[in-house]
Amino acid sequence: MATTSTEPLAGWRVLICRPQPEGDRLATRLSDQGATTRCLPLLERRSVPDSPERRTLIQELDRYQHVFAVSPGAARAFVNVADDWWPQWPVQLHWYGVGKGTADVLRTAGLPVTTPDAGHTSEALLALDALQELDGDRILIAKGRGGRGLLSHALTERGGRVDEMVLYERVPIRHDDKTVRDSLVGFDPQAVVVLSVETLNNLVSLGKNTDAALWQRTLLVPAARVAEKAREAGFQTVVTPDSVDHDGIARCLRGLQNNDPTTE
């Protein structure tokens, strides 16, 4: 007699294109719910060299009123660098993380993080009442090289004095054709997790001449702006979770199973 698995994601194949170690952590969570997963990281974070300018920003941490981390990788890198200078964190700082995963990294370091009640994007963070009128407040943003620049621009317009601490750069990983073919054609994922525009661009670059079914694959992306880029590239089915933490991604995949995904 055939048996039916009670695991909520049983039978689903999910390709995860997140950088490591986030990719493996997400794979573990989805596997625990029955999904078959494979990781194909498409970006690598590389630390940027230390500099006198960065050391000055860290040494003057207690002169800031607000500190932002834009991603889990930025939060981890900031904590690792700043911990050498600040065995006890300055008490007057207001801490913010873009997304639950970023906030969780800061909380693990013992920091009291402010997050919006809903939403996981920079836009949601910028909607907080405390960030509407900054009146000369000093603001530090921990980030990777490049990126959107939305936080810096918006906070400056609201009267903040913004400094950026660049901690790493994102470098595309150029997998060989066999690795890409095995991950797409061979594994044949029912959903592909792509959580940045840079990751999307590398997926298209590597997969467009390798996977004839690429444009029919369902992409799970973090926000409407990435969904728009994916559709412009030619993807037909693009979904966004209500949160890009592990639970939010799992909920979105369960919605796909039930033909009721969150879409943008």
Residue 28 in any domain: the answer is yes
| Same domain, yes or no: 54 and 158 | yes
Residue 3 in any domain: the answer is no
Q: Average the pLDDT over 7-16 and give the result.
A: 93
Q: Cα-Cα-Cα-Cα dihedral of 154, 159, 161, 167, to 10°? A: -20
Question: The domain containing residue 214 runs over which residues?
Answer: 13-42+175-257
Per-residue pLDDT at 263 exceeds 90: no
Residue 184 in any domain: the answer is yes
pLDDT tens digits, one per residue of 148-177: 788 999 999 999 999 999 999 999 999 999
Q: Residue 138 is part of a domain; what is its CATH number?
A: 3.40.50.10090
User: Which of 171, 194, 215 is where one domain is finished?
Assistant: 171
pLDDT tens digits, one per residue of 72-99: 889 999 999 998 899 899 988 999 999 8
Crossing angle of helices 52-59 and 72-83, rounded to 10°: 80
| Same domain, yes or no: 154 and 78 | yes
Residue 6 in any domain: the answer is no
pLDDT tens digits, one per residue of 179-198: 999 999 999 999 999 999 99
- What integer best gives the mean pLDDT of the chain? 91
The amino acid sitting at 48 is V
How would residue 3 be classed by pLDDT, with cut points 50, 70 and 90?
very low
Residue 8 in any domain: the answer is no
| Same domain, yes or no: 215 and 249 | yes
How many domains, in total, are found in the chain?
Answer: 2
| Same domain, yes or no: 72 and 19 | no
* DSSP per-residue codes, 145-192: SSS--HHHHHHHHTT-EEEEEEEEEEEE----HHHHHIIIIIT--SEE
Alpha-carbon span 164 to 141, nearest angstrom: 5
Alpha-carbon span 98 to 69, nearest angstrom: 6
